[in-house]
Amino acid sequence: MIEMQDVWKTYADGTHALKGISVRIDRNDFVYIVGPSGAGKSTFMKLIYREEVPTKGQISVNGFNVGRLKQRKIPYVRRNIGVVFQDFRLLPNMTAYENIAFAMEAIEAPRKLIKRRVNEVLELVGLKSKANSLPAQLSGGEQQRISIARAIVNNPSVIVADEPTGNLDPETSWGIMNLLEEINFRGTTIIMATHNKDIVNTIRKRVIAIESGSIVRDQIRGDYGYDL
C-alpha cells in the first residue's frame, strides 16, 4: 500500500514539481497516472521508488517512510518495487537471461532458485527462446518484456511503470498491457504513467490526473480525459 500526505517537491532550480499531493493506492490496484508533459507525473513515480525525496510531506510504501530512509536501507525498499521505464534500461552487455538474473543476484538469492525463477518469468513474458540474446538483438517490445520480467522476478508488491509503451508501436503496446494486466491479476499493484489515450480508454482502470503538480481528478474507472 502506498500513501502520500501533502507531498511537495521543489527542485534545486526552483521548479515546483508537486504541490501538496495526498493520495492512497491500495494493494492490487491498477492506476493510470495521466496529465500533460511536465505536470509532475515522473516526479510522482520517482518519489515512490525513492529516486527523489519529497521537500515536504510524507510518503509511505509498504509501511516504510521512504522520504526519511537511511541511504543504506534504500536497496531493501527497492527490492519490493519493480520499476519499468520507457527506454527499458537493460544492461547492454548482459543477455536477456543475465539481465533478469541480475536482479536476483543483487538480493543474493540461491543459484538454483535464480535459475528456476528466471525461466519462470521468461516463460510468463513469452521470451524463453530469447534468453541468450543481448538487448541489441531484441526488438523494442521484446526488450520491454525483458525489463518487465526483471521488474517482477523478485515478486515485488508494486510495479512502477513510467510510460512503458511510450517507445512501442500500438500492436506491441497491447501485448505489454496484457502482460501488465496479467501481473496485476496475480496480485501486484501497478502504477503506470502514460500518454496513451486508447489504452486508458479501453482497459478501464483507476485514473489519477496530475496538472501543474496537483491532482485534478481521481476516478475509479476513469477515462483519459485529454484530447491529445
Q: Which residues bind other proteins (CB under 8 A)?
A: 49, 51, 71-72, 74-79, 83, 89-93, 102-103, 105-108, 110-111, 150, 154
Q: How far is the CB of 196 from other proteins (least distance, A)?
A: 23
User: Which residue, chain included where needed, has cell 541468450?
Assistant: 132
Q: What is the largest CA-CA distance in the chain?
A: 50
Among residues 146 and 207, whose Cβ is nearest to other proteins? 146
For other proteins, the closer CB: 43 or 196: 43
Q: Which is nearer to other proteins, 99 or 194 (CB)?
A: 99
* Residue 162 beta carbon to other proteins: minimum distance, rounded to whole angstroms: 11
Nearest residue (CB) to other proteins, 93 versus 137 = 93
Q: Which residues contact 132 (CB under 8 A, 6 or more apart)?
A: 95, 96, 97
Task: Give the span between the Cα atoms of 208 and 218, in whole angstroms.
Answer: 4
The arrangement of strands across the sheet holding 30-34 comes to 81-85, 158-162, 189-193, 30-34, 206-211, 214-219
In the complex, the smallest distance separating the C-beta of residue 121 from other proteins, rounded to whole angstroms, is: 13
Alpha-carbon distance of 34 to 39, in angstroms, equals 9
| DSSP H helical ranges for the chain | 41-48, 74-78, 96-105, 111-124, 140-152, 170-185, 197-202
Residue 129 beta carbon to other proteins: minimum distance, rounded to whole angstroms: 23
Residue (37 or 71) nearer to other proteins, CB: 71
Total Cβ atoms within 10 A of residue 44: 28
Provide the minimum distance between the beta carbon of 72 and other proteins in the complex, in angstroms, as a whole number: 7
Nearer to other proteins, 150 or 205 (CB): 150
Closest distance between other proteins and the C-beta of residue 143, in Å?
Answer: 13
Specify the length of the chain in residues: 228
Contacts of residue 101, Cβ cutoff 8 Å, sequence gap at least 6: 114, 118
Reduce the DSSP state of residue 80 to 3 states and report it: coil
